[in-house]
Structure 1
Amino acid sequence: MNNPYEDLFKTAAKPDPTQPGLAPAVPPADDDMLDDRHKTRKTNLRLLVVYILGLVIVNVAIYAIYFLTYGDPVATQANIVEVDVQFIPSESSLYPDDPFAVILDGRFENHNTFRLGKIVADFTFLDGEGNTVGTSSYSLDHVEPTAALIVHDVLYFDTAVASIEYEWGFDMSSTFYLAVNAIHTISIALIFILLDRAHFADRWRRTKKGWKQALGGIVTGEIMVYMALLFSSILMERPGITTGSENEATIASLFKPDPVILGTLFLTLCVFTPIVEETIFRKVLFGFFPKKLGPTLPILLSGLIFGLMHVATAGDLPQAIPYVMMGFVFGYVYWSSGRNIYVTMGVHFLNNFISFLIYVAALYGFIF
């Protein structure tokens, strides 16, 4: 059977069995005699079905637990009372690039007769023309009856703030979402490895043989990710586009000064999330495209889907830009490495690990 990727990789010549001491030829570095193309497509389809079913099951479970916990969400919301929310704009010389300060104060009290998993308050800061200057979110887990989320903060902006908009509500606790996300991500990753174990084993063998090239690809890929994020930040420096997404705010809220929580976050975000996402967005999506189309369409489509999957709401669409750019880089690295899933997982791990360290450093006050 002809190698469908023979234009990307040279196939070593078959050894002459009559000549002693010749090593066996290294198989081509892509979907090859390990699996025929039909079998590979079937495996990819199974992986995609598992991924979609996993998302459906986990979301149904979350909603079911939510409504079992809060039987009457409307009444629960009505019993969270806003008290003395106010903002005081001023000018400050503390940060020359952000000379406009806002002092924000307020309380959101739990007047329910039961403990709330979390109270959340989201603020949007507007200039005189109604354009968004910035946003800020606050939350408190495990809020007992009569307790309150207290907001007291000083924020700095590059534009004067004329007014604020805010909303508040309740949810399950951050610990709950961390546990659900960890169980879901780790389970899907292990199922992927089980279903596609031949592919993972084959690529691991090739990665060990060419570990220097793989390591170089990971380092180069991370540099490309950094450049992509830098370019994204330039694109997003426009009025009305905020730099933080709901997805990022949710992740930030999960970080607590607790070794168990931080260990769970490390395993989930740095180890198992790259396995799941690179398998789906690179290995599976690339596998559905015939080779004759070339790498451009798979790279663009996988990057676009990857980016959109990382925003929580339609209002967060501008925040998809950095994720889309990262997705393009991951796709290019995957293709240029000979579709080696371990190289893109390595880049993804390194990127998430750097973010993890930044969150931890901020949590313990090493950076501000």
Structure 2
Amino acid sequence: MIMNKQFYKFTCLPILMFIVLLYVTPMLTNVFHASISTYLVVYMLMQVLLLAVGPMCLYKNEYLDSLKLFKKHIFKYVMLAIILWIIIAVAQVIAAKMTGVSASNQTFINSVTDKGTLLSFALSIVLTFVAPINEEMIFRRILIGNFKNHIPVWSLVIISSILFGLIHMHTVQDLQVIFPYIIIGFLFAGAYIKNQYNIVVSTFCHIFLNLVVAVIGLIAASR
């Protein structure tokens, strides 16, 4: 595999920023005993920065081309998103029935997005739209798209799906409910590959899933 400047720019830079966002940021906030509000503000700023560096800068032209193809078959992709959501919902119900616990990632998100504050609203927007774009760039476009000519695609799907599941666990207990996240990663990878490596398709499905979850959460919180 040739590691040139272009490869580092389009692969290593976004991944490095994602690692900083996911792990270094909470570590620093803990060291400086920052409040949860401070952490959330830093998290949102980092997500927006990653969005600007990744899809909006490095991969801008590819996203625009993929969007044109997406628009030609938008009804097909809406149906795909609905089908994937149903499969994921069933997987999550089965996991919850089998383990009796819910992931701390989802519990944390629910706890900070149902407060009715401006911060909660901003975080909901970031988690629903910005985070899925960034995660699809990392786990589908980069880990699969950038390595597909060097490593068998099936192995990249497995690796990216497992890593996608791992980033959504924050405690050892989450190992019991990591399976649905791996399934989600696998389904999004399939949507990406089966549609000629169109990153907009998997991103749309991811945003659709998060949007449905957010709406259901808001309805439940209002009752």
- TM-score (norm: length of structure 1): 0.54
Do 2:84 and 2:205's aligned partners in 1 also have CA atoms closer than 8 Å?
no
1:299 to 149, 154, 157: 157
Paired residue secondary structure (1:315): helix
Partner Cα distance (1:359, 1:285) in 2: 31
Which residue is 1:223 aligned to?
83
Q: 1:252 to 1:209 in 2, by over 3 A?
A: closer
5+ residue gaps in structure 2?
none
Higher-Rg structure is 1
Which residue type is aligned with residue 304 of structure 1? Answer: I
1:203 to 55, 60, 63: 63
Q: How many residues align?
A: 221
1:364 aligns with 2:222: yes
2:46 to 184, 199, 206: 184
Paired residue secondary structure (1:363): helix
Superposition pairs of residues 13-28 of structure 1, within 5 angstroms = none
Name which structure has the greater RCO, CA cutoff 8 Å, separation 6+: 2
- Please report how far the alpha carbon of residue 215 of structure 1 lies from its aligned counterpart in structure 2 after TM superposition: 4.8
Q: 1:231 to 1:61 in 2, by over 3 A?
A: closer
1:233 to 77, 93, 96: 93
Which residue type is aligned with residue 360 of structure 1? Answer: L
Q: 1:283 to 1:356 in 2, by over 3 A?
A: same
1:62 aligns with 2:26: no
- Please report how far the alpha carbon of residue 248 of structure 1 lies from its aligned counterpart in structure 2 after TM superposition: 1.3
Superposition pairs of residues 292-331 of structure 1, within 5 angstroms = 293-331=151-189
1:244 aligns with 2:102: yes
Q: 1:210 to 1:283 in 2, by over 3 A?
A: closer
Partner Cα distance (1:343, 1:205) in 2: 12
Do 1:189 and 1:276's aligned partners in 2 also have CA atoms closer than 8 Å?
yes
1:311-343 Cα offsets, whole Å, 9 max, x none, are: 111121011111111010011111112212211
2:7 to 27, 30, 41: 41
Partner Cα distance (2:16, 2:75) in 1: 32
Q: 1:214 to 1:38 in 2, by over 3 A?
A: farther
Which residue type is aligned with residue 46 of structure 1? Answer: L
1:213-255 Cα offsets, whole Å, 9 max, x none, are: 25523430341232133134325533xx123111111111102
1:353 aligns with 2:211: yes
Q: 1:311 to 1:210 in 2, by over 3 A?
A: closer
Which residue is 2:118 aligned to?
260
Q: 1:218 to 1:331 in 2, by over 3 A?
A: farther
Partner Cα distance (1:216, 1:259) in 2: 37
Q: Compare the two structures and name the one with the higher helix fraction.
A: 2
- Please report how far the alpha carbon of residue 292 of structure 1 lies from its aligned counterpart in structure 2 after TM superposition: 6.7
1:332 aligns with 2:190: yes
- TM-score (norm: length of structure 2): 0.86
Q: 1:359 to 1:63 in 2, by over 3 A?
A: same
Do 1:218 and 1:344's aligned partners in 2 also have CA atoms closer than 8 Å?
no
1:53 to 15, 20, 43: 20
- Please report how far the alpha carbon of residue 206 of structure 1 lies from its aligned counterpart in structure 2 after TM superposition: 3.7
Q: 1:259 to 1:219 in 2, by over 3 A?
A: farther
Paired residue secondary structure (1:339): coil
5+ residue gaps in structure 1?
1-35, 70-171
Do 2:88 and 2:183's aligned partners in 1 also have CA atoms closer than 8 Å?
yes
Do 1:217 and 1:337's aligned partners in 2 also have CA atoms closer than 8 Å?
no
Do 2:55 and 2:63's aligned partners in 1 also have CA atoms closer than 8 Å?
no
Which residue type is aligned with residue 129 of structure 2? Answer: V
- Please report how far the alpha carbon of residue 208 of structure 1 lies from its aligned counterpart in structure 2 after TM superposition: 1.8
Which residue type is aligned with residue 103 of structure 2? Answer: S
Do 1:311 and 1:320's aligned partners in 2 also have CA atoms closer than 8 Å?
yes
Partner Cα distance (1:292, 1:261) in 2: 43
Q: Compare the two structures and name the one with the higher strand fraction.
A: 1
